[in-house]
Amino acid sequence: MSLSISGKIIVALPMQNGVSKSGKAWQRQDFVLEIPGQYPKKVAFTVMNDNVQNFGLAVGQDVDIEIDINANEWQGKWYNSITCWKAILCNSQDLI
């Protein structure tokens, strides 16, 4: 499932990296987006590999993002993943 959402980045967690079982290097960074409204909502999402540098996301930016949502089972529990595959900066002058 792919969705578009807009908001302000309020958290940028440290970059993580490693090597997959197949030997391919990977990197990821997690962010939290606050969606405005009467009752603002927060969404945590992940940016993977080259997109971490390509998007240049930072706290304080207003962005429009395209995300994929997926659920995976591990040891009888289900976990959601929200991965951003496209990001458009709306106001690069308002960086914190």
Kindly indicate the confidence band of residue 2, based on its pLDDT and cuts at 50, 70 and 90.
Answer: confident
Tens of pLDDT, residue by residue over 22-51, are 999 999 999 999 999 999 999 999 999 999
Q: What is the mean pLDDT of the chain?
A: 91
Closest-CA residue to 32 (of 42, 24, 23): 42
Spatial CB neighbours of 59, under 8 Å, sequence gap ≥ 6: 9, 10, 11, 12, 95, 96
* Counted domains in the chain: 1
Residue range of the domain that includes 9: 2-86
**Dist CA 30 CA 38 (whole Å):** 25
Q: Supply the CATH number for residue 14's domain.
A: 2.40.50.140
pTM across the whole model: 0.85
Residue 47 lies in a domain: yes
